[in-house]
Amino acid sequence: MRKFFQYLGRNPQLLIGLLILGGMALLWLIGYFLVDIKLAAPLSATPDLPPSREYLLGTDSAGRQMLPVLIAGIPTSLQIGLIAGTLGLLIGTVLGFTAGYFGGIVDSIIRTLADVALSIPALAVLVVIASVITKLLSPQIMALIIASLAWMWPTRTIRAQVLTMRERAYVEVARLSGLNNFEIIFKELMPNLLPYLAASFVGAVSAAILAAFGLELLGLGPQSEPTLGMTIYWARYYNALLRGMWWWWGPPVLIIILLFIGFFMVAAGLDEVANPRSRRAA
């Protein structure tokens, strides 16, 4: 632990990112135990009230209290990003290791599939799929939709990493020692790629959250769930900006900005761990 904290002192990007995300998690945890989430339901208060002692962040036009809406919306938005990012990176890792290590016809097929899929505009496909099943959308289904188009880039980058690693001396020594292919992958290659996979995971989660926000801002998110993106959509739908209701759209926008700053800083800090060329000297 002492070495970890010493490294954080030498890696300010990672430290700042962890502090931002940790501070937001702590504030959400405190709010979760102090605020009744049921007040995020419509008609739980008088509509269109500004912040006051009774309603700390005011209410929206549907009579929902904004503080409970935000407390309920943060974990829902993060759930979409975590599910989609995890599944997308998992699929990309399996395909990338398979293509990069075994090569041959398997590599050609996987590489061609990834290249073709990357040429398709992902947002347009997500909009079409979400608009077709909009009545069935839930945070979990939206995460699966986003994950279905989140595996291509991890597949390409991880394949490239494995291609360079499989020719190194320690892999040849492991092969001569009698290890089979799967043992080499899990005991030799995978541990060396863990920092890179961690940075890729953070990037995949933030990209999935961004994709979910894009769909939600178009009104293609879960209609009954108080996610951050849907909160901004309803604020735009009811012209909250023109009506001067800053408490409706301002806090969720601020939370989104802080989330992406935190994820970006953590990803940049982990990239420094994974990339020796950018690693600072002690």
pLDDT for residue 281: 47
**What's the pLDDT score for residue 117?**
85
The ranges assigned to domains in the chain are 73-278
The model's pLDDT over 40-81, given as tens digits with 9 standing for 90+, comes to 888 888 899 999 988 889 999 989 999 999 999 999 889 999
The DSSP string of 170-197 is HHHHHHHTT--HHHHIIIIIHHHHHHHH
Mean of the per-residue pLDDT values of the chain: 86
Q: How many Å apart are CA 9 and CA 93, to the nearest integer?
A: 31
- Whole-structure pTM value: 0.86
Query: Is the distance from CB of 217 to CB of 236 less than 8 angstroms?
Result: yes
Among residues 225, 206, 228, which one has the least CA distance to residue 85?
206
Give the helix/strand (H/E) hosting 80. helix 66-102
User: What is the fold, at CATH topology level, of the domain defined by 73-278?
Assistant: MetI-like fold (1.10.3720)
The predicted-structure confidence for 91-116, as pLDDT tens digits, reads as follows 999 999 999 988 889 999 999 998 88
Beta bridge partners of residue 59, listed in sequence order: 65
pLDDT tens per residue, range 178-201: 888 888 888 888 888 888 888 889
| pLDDT for res 45 | 87
Of the listed ranges 128-137, 142-151, 190-199, the one predicted with least confidence? 128-137
The pLDDT of residue 92 is 93
The pLDDT of 25-37, averaged and rounded, is 89
Q: Which pLDDT does position 282 carry in this prediction?
A: 43
Q: For residue 231, which of 59, 71, 69 has the smallest C-alpha distance?
A: 69
**Both structure tokens of 52:** 């006051």
Collapsing DSSP to helix, strand or coil, 169 comes out as: helix
The one-character DSSP state at 49 is P
